[in-house]
Amino acid sequence: MVLRGQTLIRLSWTQTKRKISLNTNYVAFEGVDGSGKTSYIEELSNQLKQKSINFKVVREPGGSKLGEGIRNLLLSHEYQVEPLTEALLFSANRSNLVEEIIKPSIENGVKILSDRSAYSSVAYQGVGRDLGFDKIYEINDIAIGGFWPDKVVLLDIDPEISLKRQKINDRIGSSDLDFFKRVREGYLELADKFKEKFLIVNANNELSSNSKIIYKWLEID
């Protein structure tokens, strides 16, 4: 409490100590294959568990029963998938994931941590596959009904380094170096276009030091 003149003012706990546990409902981790998204999501998940924050981790492609089926089609070496078909399959997966999992979770007070999002398709299919940045953005915007992540952590790394980290070489992950260089350029273009949403993190640095930067940005104390 504070005495101001002759008036006694009682300050509530929320006025005296502002404690924020996570300043977004929907955060996505993005980056080229091998950039470390899974490790960062695991690290953030552990942090949120310690603070008893209710959250759900989803992945793209996949994340739902239908999505996991589409994931198998997209990543299997068994199928030859044309670039536009690839983009449309990704967007179909996202449409289902947003409506079936992400929206209902957020409506029930559950935070979403996503391993990739619709921004991946803009970078991978729009720029990497040369289908067009704006075209793929618009397709995905329709598919997800404009329900994009609130915040995006972009783990930026030279593809020559990230590809050496790769443990699983699926159909897309087996693409050549030039493809991943274009994908990286696509991500950096996205980060420049949507500065208010993106945090660029140097994925060459230690996970522990980068995590502190991410926690500060997300206002996790």
Q: Where are the domains of the chain?
A: 19-217
For the stretch 12-32, pLDDT in tens is 333 334 444 688 999 999 999
5, pLDDT greater than 60: no
- Please compute the mean of the pLDDT values over residues 172-195 and round it to a whole number: 96
- Supply the mean pLDDT for the chain: 90
Kind and range of the H or E run holding 192: helix 177-193
Two structure tokens written together for 122 = 């803009």
% of the chain exceeding 90 in pLDDT: 84
The angle formed by the CA atoms of residues 187, 192 and 197, to the nearest 5 degrees, is: 85
Helices (H), 19-123: 37-50, 65-75, 83-97, 103-107, 118-121
Whole-angstrom distance, CA of residue 59 vs CA of residue 28: 9
- Please compute the mean of the pLDDT values over residues 176-185 and round it to a whole number: 97
166, pLDDT greater than 90: no
Whole-angstrom distance, CA of residue 38 vs CA of residue 58: 11
For the stretch 193-221, pLDDT in tens is 999 999 999 999 999 999 999 999 999 86
- Please compute the mean of the pLDDT values over residues 148-166 and round it to a whole number: 94
% of the chain exceeding 70 in pLDDT: 90
Residue 57's pLDDT is what?
A: 98
Q: How many CB atoms lie within 10 A of CB 4?
A: 7
- Please compute the mean of the pLDDT values over residues 34-46 and round it to a whole number: 96
Q: Amino acid letter at 145? A: G
Residue 22's pLDDT is what?
A: 82
Q: Indicate the pTM of the whole model.
A: 0.88
Find how far residue 54's CA is from the centre of its chain.
18
CATH number for the domain whose boundaries are 19-217: 3.40.50.300
| Interacting residues of 191 by C-beta distance below 8 A, sequence separation 6+ | 152, 154, 198, 200
